[in-house]
Amino acid sequence: MKAKTIVTIVGARPQFIKAAPVSRALIPFFHEVMVHTGQHYDYGMSDVFFEEMEIKKPEFNLGIGGGTHAEQTGLMLIELEKILTSVKPDCILVYGDTNSTLAGALAAAKAGIPLAHVEAGLRSYDRTMPEEVNRVLTDHVSNLLFCPTDAAVKNLAKEGIVQGVHRVGDVMYDALLYNLANARAKSKILDQLGLKKGGYALATVHRAANTDSIERMRSILDGLGKLDTQVIFPVHPRTRKTINEWEISTGANVLMVEPVGYFDMLVLQENSNCILTDSGGVQKEAYLAGVRCITLREDTEWVETVAAGWNKLVGVNTDLIVDTYKNWHPQGERAALYGDGHSAVEISKTIFSALR
């Protein structure tokens, strides 16, 4: 019997990480066609992840990496419609909450093709965030909704979504378990930067709410500059552009470096004394790595990391960033919040059963 075809749509760093274990799990059941929208297009934000994580080269790369949210989503939708008309897949698979996710979801809905959403049900309840709008709309047109946590399942139920909902755990945990030993063996990032375990904090900033505001960026960088530790800051291209245009400076303790690959990021995370970030994925990776996380936002979709006592929301208040770093440390053990590391296999089997 001819294998059914799945079109997987990715476009950003977190999606490459999530797609890697799922793509491996799909092999026994499906013919997968990978589409890269080009939302993240720099080598350090895209190609290196495909190389390190051994993800097959995308059959299609749309090269849509710039423009406003509306321009990106619209152009992606136009190009995706052409691909779907040609490939005629049995299912479309999207991840997370980016413009690529929403474009894939809308393309599937318009074409009448079943849609599977990995990382469904997350909510920050902040509709000013483009990611929140993307994830809500995607969930409401999805046929199969793969939730990482019980909280995500409950969020969907509040919105009347109960059919096709599956609590499967988190595929980023699958990816971490699969890649951590390899990362430790291959990454040279600690030697390259002269770092010792526990001797530095790690920071990432890329959310538009922060990077589009000179006041918020200045507050964050002031806070990082006042920490009594070295801070390693892999700078997202959009963030670097903002810092340069506004000529924002920070303390001598902050080392701004180019974006790093997945292996280097895993090693930097597990050896840091603290992670400061506005990234949803990095909050979760911090929890999985057993490193305290200070979130540079007023809310989070990963509420269970806060409830577990390993994540603190501080916004961008300089004094609160410094005080939290100095005085707050998690207490107690970390609960197993994100499954057993076999989420990708469960996702693949569930899609296969649904399409039979």
Annotated catalytic sites, by residue? 206
Q: Which of 132, 133, 85, 95 is nearest to 115 (CA)?
A: 95
Cα–Cα dist 167/152, whole Å: 8
User: For residues 48 and 261, is the Cβ–Cβ distance under 8 A?
Assistant: yes
Query: Per-residue DSSP letters for 6-18?
Result: EEEEE-SHHHHHH
CA distance 222 to 226: 6
Short-list 152, 143, 162, 141, CA closest to 119: 152
SS3 content of the chain, % helix, strand, coil (to 5): 50, 15, 35
| Other beta carbons less than 10 A from residue 326's beta carbon | 12
> What's 340's DSSP letter?
S
